[in-house]
Structure 1
Amino acid sequence: MRMITVSAQGEADYRRLQEAIDSIPAGSGEATTIRLRPGIYEEKVTVPKDAPPILLLGEDAERTIVTWSDNAHTLGPDGEPLGTFRTGTLNVFAANFTAENVTIRNASGPGTGQAVAAFVDADRAVFRRVRLLGDQDTLYAGGGKHYYDDCCIEGDVDYIFGPATAVFDRCRLHNKRSRSYITAASTPEGAAFGYVFLDCEITGGDGVRDVYLGRPWRPYAHTAFIRTRMDGCVAPEGWHNWGQPDREKTSRYEEYGSTGEGAAPEKRADWSRQLSAEEAKDYRILRILDGWHPEGY
C-alpha cells in the first residue's frame, strides 16, 4: 500500500491535497492512503475516475477542513456559470474511495444557490466520521452504492440529492432554515433502494420549523427513515410532492420507529408509508447494498 502525507504547515510529502492525488500514477491499482494532517485546505479537489482505491484519512474532523466556495452562479474558465454539477469542493469519480475524520465544506453561504460540498459520482464510496457542510445541495450522492457512517450533514434545500443507493448509518442531519427539504432522491426506476437512513438523528437550528424529510427530484424517488430521532423542526406531514401530484403514485417514502417531537405517523402525508416491524427487517446494510460490505478499504 502506498502512503502519502499532506500538511498545510509543511513537514509532509505535499502541502495541498490535490497535489497528493495527482502524484498517484494514473491507472495504478495500488491502494493508497493519504494522511491529511489538521489544517484548513482551501482548494477544490478531484479524485479522477482512473484513481486506485484511496483512503483519505484525517486525524480530527473538526480540525481537518477542506473548503471551497463555488456555487451555480460562479463563472468557470469558459466564462459561463458553473451550474450545480461543477460546484463541488470534493469531487469523487473513482470507485472504492473512503474518507475518514475530515470536514468537506462549501463556504458559498446561504442564499447563493446550489453549492455542493461533496460530489460523489462513483461506486462503493465510504464516508466515516465526516462532516459535510453547506447550504443548498450539500451532498450529491450520484451513481453507485454509498455508505455514510457516523457523519454530520447539514444544509437547507435538497441537501442530500441524486440517484445513488446509499445507507446513512447513525448520521446527524442538521437543518439550517425553515420550510426546507432534507432529501431530493432521483432513484432510478426499478431500483430496490434509494436512500436509507438507519438510527439517525434530525436536528434544526434555533427556530427552524417545517422541514420536510424529502421530495421527489425524479418520479421513482425512494427514501426510508428507520428508527430516526427527530426534533421539532420536522413538518408533521413529513413529505412534499414537489408540486407534482403524479409523483405521489410512483415515489416511495417510508418510515419505521421514528421518535421525538418530529415523529408524527398519524399526520404524515397519506401517500407515504409506515413500515411494519416485519418489513423493516429487510432494511439491512448487506441487503440494501446488494451484498457489498463497506468494511475495509
Structure 2
Amino acid sequence: MLSLVVALGLAACGAVAYSPPLHRISPPHDALVVRGNTTRDGEYPTIMSAVWALPNDTSSQSIFIYPGTYHEQIYLSRAGPITLYGYTRNAGSQEANEVTITNSLVASAAGSDEASGTLRVHTNNTQVYNLNIRNDYGPGLLGGQNQAIAISAYGDKVGLYACGFYGFQDTVYTNTGRHAFLHGYIEGSVDFIFGKLSQAYFQANTIAIAAPGCITASGRSTNDSGIYLLEDSVITAAPNANFTVSEMNGKIYFGRPWRNYARVIFKNTYVIKPMLNAALWSIWSTATPLTDEVTYADYGTWGPGVPWNVSQARANFSTHLTTKEAASYNIGFALGSDWHTWVDSRYLL
C-alpha cells in the first residue's frame, strides 16, 4: 500500500504505465502445480518437490503455487528459464500475496551468506511473482554475526514482481547478474540490500526499517557496471520493528560501503518514518571508511522523515544530483539496453 503513495502521485500527472494482471488464481498451461498437503494426482505438496520434477534441460518451465505457508528452502539451478507464480487475487499488490515461503537459517550455520537464503536463485531468466520470502532467524545474539538471507540472487535476468522479502540482517543478497525488484516489500535492519557484482534495479518498493542501521551495503570493488538504483521507494518503520520510531530516528542511512567502489543511487524516495540521519550516507567503520571511490547520490528525497538540514549535512563523499544528472540514472543504465527483453514492463511505472 505504501508504494502506492508514489504510484498515485505519478498517475495524477499521467506518468504511469503500470498494468499488471488483475489476479492469478489458476495455473498457466503446462505449469506444475503446488498445493500444500495435496493428495491430488499430478500436484506437488512442496515447492522443492515441483522444482525437482522439472526437466533438466533448457526449456522454459513454470510452477504455480496455491495459497499457504511453505516451510522450506528453495534452490533454483536448472539450465532453462523458470517462472514461479504465487496464487493471488490482486497480482499488482504485494500486500495481497497469499503464498509465503519461510525458513530460519543463519549464515554461520549454513556455511555462507548465500547458503542461508530461503530462496536461492542460480538460474538465468528466472521470474518470480507474488511470493513472500522470509528468513525468520531474526536479530540473533547481540553483537553477533547474524546474517540470514531471504533471497540470494546469482542468476542473470532475474525479475521479482510484487514479492515480499523479510529478514533482519542481509535480507536481500543481490550478488551477481542483473536483477529487477518491482512493486515489492523489503524489510530489514543491517545492510539488508547487499552484494558485490550485480546490477540491481528497484522501483516502487516499500522499504521497512526494523532497527537502526544502513539500508544498502554495496560490495562493488572495481569500476565495473555494478549498481543499485532505487527509484520511487517508500521508507517506513516495519510493523513489528525491534525498536520504537523515536529510538530509530536519526540512525537510518541509505547505505554504507562494503567495498571502496560502492555505487548506490536513490531517486524520488518518500520517507515516512523513522527520521533519516541528515548525512544520508555512512562510512563502513571508523577504522576503514571505504569512501575514497564511492558513488553515492540521491535526488528527490522527500517526506516527513527527511531532516530539515540535509542540504547542509549530506555526507561529503556523496552527491545531490541535478535533474539532468538524475535522468541519466534509469532502468537502462542499471540493467543494460536489452532490459525490455526480460523485465515484465507491466510492473513498471
After TM superposition, the score normalised by the length of structure 1 is: 0.91
Deviation of the 1:84 alpha carbon: 2.2
Structure 1 stretches of 4+ with a deviation exceeding 6 A read none
Higher helix share: 2
Amino acid in the other structure paired with 1:59: Y
Q: Which residue of 2 aligns with 1:17?
A: 47
Q: Which residue of 2 aligns with 1:4?
A: 32
SS at match of 1:219: coil
Q: Higher mean Cα deviation, 146-155 or 257-266? A: 257-266
SS at match of 1:158: coil
Asked if the contact 1:236/1:262 (under 8 Å) is kept, the reply is: no
Deviation of the 1:283 alpha carbon: 1.5
Counterpart Cα distance in 2 of 1:88 and 1:161: 13
Q: For residues 51-79 of structure 1, what are the alpha-carbon distances to aligned partners after superposition, in whole Å with 9 as ceiling and x for unaligned?
A: 311110002354200011010233x5xxx
Structure 1 7/265 Cα, relative in aligned 2: closer, same or farther at 3 Å? farther
Unaligned 5+ runs, structure 2? 1-28, 89-93, 239-243
Q: For residues 195-215 of structure 1, what are the alpha-carbon distances to aligned partners after superposition, in whole Å with 9 as ceiling and x for unaligned?
A: 000111111244232111100
1:22-101 paired onto structure 2 within 5 Å: 22-26=52-56, 28-48=57-77, 50-60=78-88, 62-74=97-109, 82-101=111-130
Identity of aligned residues (%): 30
Deviation of the 1:245 alpha carbon: 5.8
Counterpart Cα distance in 1 of 2:326 and 2:81: 33
Higher strand share: 1
Counterpart Cα distance in 1 of 2:165 and 2:79: 22
Deviation of the 1:114 alpha carbon: 0.6
Q: Which residue of 2 aligns with 1:165?
A: 199
Counterpart Cα distance in 2 of 1:168 and 1:73: 28
Counterpart Cα distance in 1 of 2:277 and 2:289: 21
SS at match of 1:70: coil
Structure 1 232/103 Cα, relative in aligned 2: closer, same or farther at 3 Å? closer
Corresponding position: 1:220 with 2:261: yes
After TM superposition, the score normalised by the length of structure 2 is: 0.78
1:1-297 paired onto structure 2 within 5 Å: 2-10=30-38, 11=40, 13-26=43-56, 28-48=57-77, 50-60=78-88, 62-74=97-109, 82-112=111-141, 113-163=146-196, 164-178=198-212, 180-205=213-238, 206-207=244-245, 208-209=248-249, 210-233=251-274, 234-243=276-285, 247-263=290-306, 264-291=310-337, 292-293=339-340, 294-296=342-344
CA RMSD of aligned residues (A): 1.8
Q: Higher mean Cα deviation, 131-140 or 207-216? A: 207-216
Asked if the contact 1:254/1:273 (under 8 Å) is kept, the reply is: yes
Give the paired residue count: 288
Q: For residues 114-143 of structure 1, what are the alpha-carbon distances to aligned partners after superposition, in whole Å with 9 as ceiling and x for unaligned?
A: 100101111111000000001001110011
Amino acid in the other structure paired with 1:40: T
